[in-house]
Amino acid sequence: MKFRRSARLTALGLAGALALTACASGTDAATDDEATTGPSTGIVTVSNGEPQNPLIPTMTNETYGSSVIQSIFAGLVYYDAEGAMHNEVAESISSEDNITWTITIADGWTFSDGTAVTADSFARAWDYGAALDNAQNLSYFFEPIKGFSYDENTSLIEAGGLTVQDESTLVVTLNQPESDFPLRLGYSAFFPLPESFFEDPAAFGEAPVGNGPYVLESWENDSVITLAPNPEYAGSRVPQNGGVELLAYTDEDSAYNDLLGGQLDVIKNVPASAFATFESELDGRSANQPAAVIQTLTVPEWLPEFQGEAGLLRREAISHAINRLEITATIFAGSRTPATDYTSPVIDGWNEEIKGNDVLQFDADKAAELWAEAEAIAPIGDYTLQVASNADSDHQTWIDAVCNGIRTNLEIECEFFPYPTFDEFLDARDSGTVPGLFRSGWQADYPAMSNFLGPIYGTGAGSNDGQWSNAAFDDTLKAAAGAPSQAEAVALYMDAETILFENLPGIPLWYNNATGGWADTVDNVQFGWDSDPILYQITKSE
């Protein structure tokens, strides 16, 4: 979430092939029985920020908008706190060859405007999301479906990739066998859309109509998004509260102080200033648990100093100049773990023995040597490395620490380049105007190794913000997706990571824990596999 964020097998038994390994919650979360004993009536307030884009599922690939989309829409499947997949709108998802998938829609589903959720609701939404002319951020996720093209505007429906057999039956035809296809279907790219969307997409983006646990009651820009329970919701994620207010904070310290002062119910992220104290200050009302989140520095391919042989040497030098162990221990008080790859330890198949990952080891002498080699090939002389991020979240502290190591070990200047707000940072990133390296936090869209690789580094992918392209990497990902077994798929994903380490389009820093907290005004708070609080199960008295 992407900063984006997230995706979450019968054929559904296949989820184990590349799914998330369950991890302990580390919270006082309710059991399923406790969470469904009956709704409370209080409105739960949660820290958030302003969405970057209109609230359309296939346009939303960042965390603030995702919090809304995941609440007001329901997909074919959903993911529980541990990342296990469950049917939601789907009654069944099956295939005999992993190419042709038959999806049956369960009875009783409607959008909040009263119109029916049918197979056509999914087919038309996916077809719209995949169409080149519609320029949707998440179009990359439809690439496996027959008819998808990066070169011309085509229709997945007309090409035979999506076939609506009747109101409750959708047949999806892929380009190759892919056993984990159902695992992706809880991600927002695959949500359905009502007829009203196609009548006026722009108006819909400001006041979306969904089929999820909540409805959008109001959206006051840069202030608050109010969600109310959806009486038409037909799934098992029934809200146990009277609604949710997502408040747009411009810094995490303010949110934390409001939590301590009883003016906020839940914070998604603990600020760095409180890492050493929040567990004692909140006294049993906090989460500090592994999550499917990684922090990296993206290297923009348009910067000449990072191109060619000298550019690769500079990337390697910067990576060796960063003391990840020291930063995670001192700045983050152990709530981060130094990265050894591009995925996450909580994802099944993760392995720290990736060829080439020694470039992530702190080595001051090696860093200086590599920078000098680059200067001998293509000198840039006096140079200031700028590291960009948004200033309305708690990133400057660790960026300053990274820059201190770079200044000391490479003997160049390094400085934080701030954008006032998250959406301004994303706009600059998306337009290719960021003047240096930039922060790229990734929260998984769905629990699989592939989700940490393809959407970020695949050619033309919606979150490939550094604009890197490598045919061998793309081919390896395709082979992994079509692998006949889990072991073969994992081996190929590791090969793909080796290609990343050979090129360093992004420099992995550390894996994030989910660090959040809640006030004594709420109960049944649990943070999930993707680091987000599970909003629907939170209870609050008036």
Task: Give the per-residue SS3 of 460-475.
Answer: CCCCCCCCCCCHHHHH
For residues 435-449, one letter each, b for 16 or more C-beta atoms within 10 angstroms of the residue's C-beta and e for the rest, the string is ebbbbbbbbbbbbbb
Residue with the bigger pLDDT between 340 and 460: it is 340
What number is the average pLDDT over the span 475-500?
93
Where do the domains of the chain lie, and which CATH numbers do they carry? 11-28+54-210 (3.90.76.10), 291-514 (3.10.105.10)
pLDDT digits (tens, 9 = 90+) for 363-401: 999 999 999 999 999 999 899 999 999 998 889 999 999
One DSSP character per residue, 319-337 reads HHT--HHHHHHHTSTTSEE
Task: Order the strands of the 90-94 sheet from edge to edge.
Answer: 90-94, 100-105, 169-173, 162-166
Q: How far apart are CA 466 and CA 499, in angstroms?
A: 16
Residue 2: the pLDDT is: 37
Identity of residue 355:
K
CA-closest candidate to residue 146, choices 99, 77, 76: 99
First to last CA, the chain: 31
Residue 3: the pLDDT is: 36
* Band of residue 348 on the pLDDT scale cut at 50, 70, 90: confident
What number is the average pLDDT over the span 79-102?
95
* Band of residue 1 on the pLDDT scale cut at 50, 70, 90: very low
Which phi and psi (to 5°) does residue 117 adopt? -90, 115
* Band of residue 485 on the pLDDT scale cut at 50, 70, 90: confident
Whether 339 and 328 have beta carbons less than 8 Å apart is answered as: no
Distant-in-sequence contacts of 84-87, Cβ < 8 A, 24+ apart: 84/15, 84/19, 84/20, 84/22, 85/8, 85/9, 85/12, 85/15, 85/19, 85/182, 85/183, 85/186, 85/447, 86/236, 87/12
Residue 39: the pLDDT is: 77
pLDDT digits (tens, 9 = 90+) for 237-295: 999 999 999 999 988 999 999 999 999 999 999 998 999 999 999 999 999 998 999 99
What are the angstrom distances between the C-alpha of 244 and each of 8, 44, 47, 204, 223?
Answer: 22, 5, 11, 21, 14
Q: How far apart are CA 130 and CA 189, in angstroms?
A: 9
* Band of residue 10 on the pLDDT scale cut at 50, 70, 90: very low
Whether 66 and 445 have beta carbons less than 8 Å apart is answered as: no
pTM for this predicted structure: 0.79
What number is the average pLDDT over the span 133-145?
94
Q: How far apart are CA 385 and CA 383, in angstroms?
A: 6
Residue with the bigger pLDDT between 10 and 273: it is 273
List all residues 6 or more positions away from 301 whose beta carbon is below 8 Å from its beta carbon.
307, 466, 467, 468, 469, 505
User: Parallel, antiparallel, or unpaired: how do β-strands 100-105 and 162-166 relate?
Assistant: unpaired
Q: How far apart are CA 94 and CA 172, in angstroms?
A: 10
Residue 272: the pLDDT is: 86
Residue 23: the pLDDT is: 31
Residue 101: the pLDDT is: 98
* Band of residue 32 on the pLDDT scale cut at 50, 70, 90: very low
User: What average pLDDT does the structure give for the chain?
Assistant: 91
Residue 38: the pLDDT is: 59
For residues 146-155, one letter each, b for 16 or more C-beta atoms within 10 angstroms of the residue's C-beta and e for the rest, the string is bbbeeeeebb
SS3 content of the chain, % helix, strand, coil (to 5): 35, 20, 45
What number is the average pLDDT over the span 28-34?
39
